């Protein structure tokens, strides 16, 4: 490792995250900050493919301060975990015993203090004293759900200030494993740059390889259309694996940008927008409560644990309002 660092100075800073103790300015973007620290073009490209790629946006659009806080945060525990049975396994116990309506799109939320009526696309109307709103940030930005009266300016401003990352996946099924034995992931300087096999560790005859694509690389692929994007992905694999004849049995693109019920992958924090996460989470008139990843704060946003924690926080906020009401009535 020491030799590698000595021979390749680029490797040193990017791999070890030995960022100098230089605080970021409150409205500084990540690229400007890293340039200020002396990152080379190679290091910037590496950071874009790694950290910023996972954050979902180009470094020029990410808050440097939020990025540093996120890098140094271990409050959700160390490391990442994969749920081998899929995320359904996490949701099933949470949904058990709840009157959960699937395929029921909300179109209108009419509200006044301690009274809400929610109207769905199918014309059903639900009335309640309070609601918890977990609409994705992209859906809130698109204003496809009508709030009556309109949301106050501070809430709208928070929705506008935060960003939604362009995120897509290219998924390929092959006749046999195409990565070497014991290798789960592949990182490339080409587009897509981040690949892994969900088949890894699974007792299945299928061999699936997934590319996770965000930011400018996602914009580039989206401009090619689904067939063009899938072809570009295969071209990258053919080059990286030096197998010019490589072809999948089947392939598909999952595009969160055009999914009407997400309108983007997940939230990111633009420069100067750290406080907007908390502003989005603020309850309105003890009646509209807000949960979902974008309300989980700038460090836990864009994650499953953030979404989960935000739901617990909103439930506690709502229950404390109900408890106060009960106390007043006694």
Ligand X SMILES: Cc1cc2nc3c(=O)[nH]c(=O)nc-3n(C[C@H](O)[C@H](O)[C@H](O)COP(=O)(O)OP(=O)(O)OC[C@H]3O[C@@H](n4cnc5c(N)ncnc54)[C@H](O)[C@@H]3O)c2cc1C
Q: Which residues bind ligand X (CB under 6 A)?
A: 105-106, 134-136, 139, 145, 167, 169, 256, 261-262, 265-266, 292-293, 302-305, 307
Write down the least CB distance from residue 25 to ligand X, Å. 27
Question: Which residues make Cβ contacts (< 8 Å) with residue 7, sequence separation at least 6?
Answer: none
Helix axes 215-222, 225-241, angle to 10 degrees: 120
Nearest to 82 by CA among 214, 196, 242: 196
* Bridge partners of residue 304, in order along the sequence: none
Residue closer to ligand X, measured from CB, 39 or 256: 256
Residue closer to ligand X, measured from CB, 33 or 290: 290
Q: What is the spatial distance between Cα 40 and Cα 42, in angstroms, rounded to a whole number?
A: 5
Write down the least CB distance from residue 167 to ligand X, Å. 5
Residue closer to ligand X, measured from CB, 4 or 128: 128
Q: By three-state DSSP, how is residue 107 classified?
A: strand
Write down the least CB distance from residue 281 to ligand X, Å. 12
Residue closer to ligand X, measured from CB, 248 or 292: 292
Residue closer to ligand X, measured from CB, 135 or 237: 135
Q: How many other β-carbons are positioned within 10 Å of the β-carbon of residue 230? A: 21
The strand ranges marked E within the chain are 106-112, 115-120, 125-128, 131-133, 146-148, 163-164, 167-174, 185-187, 194-196, 207-214, 250-255, 267-268, 288-290
């Amino acid at each position: 490792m020491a030799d590698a660092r000595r021979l390749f100075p680029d490797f040193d800073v990017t791999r070890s995250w030995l960022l100098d103790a230089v605080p970021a300015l409150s409205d500084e973007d990540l690229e400007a900050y890293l340039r200020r620290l002396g990152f080379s073009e190679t290091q910037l490209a590496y950071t874009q493919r790694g950290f910023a790629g996972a954050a979902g946006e180009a470094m020029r659009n990410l808050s440097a301060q939020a990025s540093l806080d996120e890098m140094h945060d271990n409050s959700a525990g160390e490391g990442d975990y994969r749920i081998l049975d899929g995320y359904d396994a996490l949701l099933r116990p949470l949904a058990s015993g709840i009157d959960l309506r699937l395929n029921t799109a909300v179109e209108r939320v009419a509200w006044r203090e301690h009274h809400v009526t929610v109207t769905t696309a199918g014309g059903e109307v639900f009335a309640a004293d309070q609601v918890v709103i977990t609409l994705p940030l992209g859906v809130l930005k698109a204003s496809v759900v009508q709030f009556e009266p309109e949301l106050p300016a501070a809430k709208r401003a928070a929705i506008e200030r935060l960003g939604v990352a362009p995120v897509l996946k290219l998924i390929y099924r092959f006749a046999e494993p195409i990565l070497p034995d014991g290798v789960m992931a592949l990182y490339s300087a080409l587009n897509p740059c981040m690949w892994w096999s969900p088949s890894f560790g699974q007792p299945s005859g299928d061999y699936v390889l997934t590319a996770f694509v965000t930011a400018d690389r996602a914009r580039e692929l989206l401009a090619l259309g689904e067939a063009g994007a899938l072809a570009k992905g295969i071209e990258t694999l053919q080059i990286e694996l030096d197998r010019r004849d490589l072809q999948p049995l089947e392939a598909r693109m999952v595009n969160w940008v055009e999914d009407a019920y997400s309108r983007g992958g997940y939230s990111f924090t633009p420069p100067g927008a750290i406080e907007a996460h908390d502003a989005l989470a603020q309850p309105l008139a003890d009646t509209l409560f807000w949960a979902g990843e974008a309300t989980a704060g700038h460090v836990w946003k864009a994650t499953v644990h953030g979404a989960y924690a935000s739901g617990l926080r909103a439930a506690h906020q709502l229950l404390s309002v109900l408890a106060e009401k009960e106390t007043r009535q006694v």
